[in-house]
Amino acid sequence: MLGGVAGVAMFLVLAMVRRRSFKLLLGLLLMMLLCAVVVQTLAFISPRSTSNLSKSEHPLDYLRSRLASAGTDSASIGRLVLWTDVAHRILPNVWFSGTGPGMFRVAFTRYRSNNYSPFDPDVHWENAHNLFLDRLTEQGIFGLLAILLLIAAFAFNIGIMIRAPDTSYAFASAAIGSAMAAVLASHCFIGELITTSFYFYLWIAVSFAAVQCAERPTVSPVLQLRNSPKWRLALACSLAISVALIWHAERNWHAEAMLQAGEDAANSGNMQKLLSSKREAEAAMYQVGTYHLEFARLMVTYLSKPHPLLDATSRKRLAEAGITSASWALQRTDKPMLALQDMILLADIGGDPRLEGWINDLKEMDPYWYRPHEMAAWLMLRQKKVAGGLREATIALELSHFTPSTNDVWNQLLSLQAAGASK
């Protein structure tokens, strides 16, 4: 909604710049105010007085409920908590160099506060839910300056086009400029994604192309362009990049196909098919850890189910294969906490002696996540270390009040403590 308001406001400003008419701007602003009043009225008038539709079926109920709960519901409060953590905990550590593109979750895991338990104790935000905070955290101060310079260049180009003698250029530029304003306003509340980044750069390129079209209504003959060495070099580079992208797409598609085959094998209990799919998928995208992490999770899923024909040696071999995949993904994905969690689960299944050390590593990596403390509590319960187990279970319970497994281990440790005291 704010994006729509920003887009209309920008269109009015550009219209005023074009016609230099403040009376037109005043009239359009009054019209906007009237429309806003109508929308607010429709949003807050209960439809049940004039309709028999249920609350879930009425189209205005959702809008009205969101407006009424703005600033108090979990969706809006969660963003406020996230932005506070970004400003006070994450940015002081990464503002200069950034975390790297797509690696916000790693910094969030390391520096976040303990204020997310009321919303989702397993939350690991993948971005800052704000375009400018995304750039600052992931690409540092230079990345933020780069996007601000691009926006400034876009605004400069639109300003030139608005004053162009040709009216068609002016109207097109007003539409493009208002759309960019709407997008930037809406992206103050949502994260930057691959698709939104693509269209952002495309919009910037359109503004430069529009300026060149307005300044140069005639272009050089096509034959002269084709005979240019620069054109041949550009064509050769484009073909090389296209071939590389096609090869990468084929490898990615093959890895996805093998991942689906691995999921089917894990669900059907076909161990050999699971292992062969794992090898092919990881070989297809060896340079990244995404598919290694996915297959480590499939190993956990497979070994968590009862398989009467699977002996202890085979279980240990599968667990070691999953640990190898998860350890590769540990430094090559934006989900190192999940990779380490899978390593812990597989180590527990396979009897790996590194289990306790990995639990401590996960507690250091993500100190405000309840899962490593819960895992430590279960381990100490088996080892009959009641005091240490209760300490870990209490921490897990404070970080996640309503998780059944956390309450279960805490109650079992309390029972064991009471039994020991009675003796």
Q: How many domains does the structure of the chain reveal? A: 3
Question: In this structure, is residue 261 part of a structural domain?
Answer: yes
Same domain, 45 and 152: yes
- Ramachandran region of residue 34, left (φ > 0), alpha (ψ -120 to 50) or beta? alpha
Q: How far is CA 381 from the centre of its chain?
A: 36
pLDDT in tens, 94-124: 999 999 888 999 999 999 988 887 778 888 9
Looking at 212, 242, 268, which one is the last position of a domain?
Answer: 212
Same domain, 286 and 298: yes
Same domain, 247 and 147: no
The whole-number pLDDT of residue 54 equals 46
Contacts of 216 (CB under 8 A, 6+ apart): none
Same domain, 342 and 391: no
Enclosing H/E stretch for 21: none
Taking the C-alpha atoms of residue 173 and residue 190, their distance in angstroms, rounded to an integer, is 25
Looking at 351, 366, 381, which one is the last position of a domain?
Answer: 366
Question: In this structure, is residue 172 part of a structural domain?
Answer: yes
pLDDT in tens, 145-158: 999 999 999 999 98
Same domain, 58 and 86: yes
Question: In this structure, is residue 77 part of a structural domain?
Answer: yes
Same domain, 156 and 267: no
What is the extent of the structural domain holding 109? Answer: 2-212
**Concatenated DSSP letters for 379-395?**
HHHHTT-HHHHHHHHHH
Question: In this structure, is residue 222 part of a structural domain?
Answer: no
Same domain, 167 and 241: no
Q: Binning pLDDT at 50, 70 and 90, where does residue 51 land? A: very low
pLDDT at 18 over 90: no
The whole-number pLDDT of residue 49 equals 39
Same domain, 420 and 336: no
Q: Binning pLDDT at 50, 70 and 90, where does residue 401 land? A: confident
Same domain, 350 and 394: no
Q: Binning pLDDT at 50, 70 and 90, where does residue 349 land? A: very high
Q: Binning pLDDT at 50, 70 and 90, where does residue 292 land? A: very high
pLDDT in tens, 60-91: 666 666 666 665 666 667 888 899 999 999 99
Question: In this structure, is residue 221 part of a structural domain?
Answer: no
Same domain, 265 and 189: no
Looking at 212, 242, 270, which one is the last position of a domain?
Answer: 212
pLDDT at 19 over 90: no
Question: In this structure, is residue 217 part of a structural domain?
Answer: no
Same domain, 140 and 288: no
pLDDT at 365 over 90: yes
Taking the C-alpha atoms of residue 260 and residue 277, their distance in angstroms, rounded to an integer, is 9
Question: In this structure, is residue 218 part of a structural domain?
Answer: no
Question: In this structure, is residue 321 part of a structural domain?
Answer: yes
Same domain, 283 and 376: no
Taking the C-alpha atoms of residue 167 and residue 144, their distance in angstroms, rounded to an integer, is 34
* 134, 127 Cβ separation under 8 angstroms: yes
φ/ψ of 354, rounded to 5, equals -85, 5
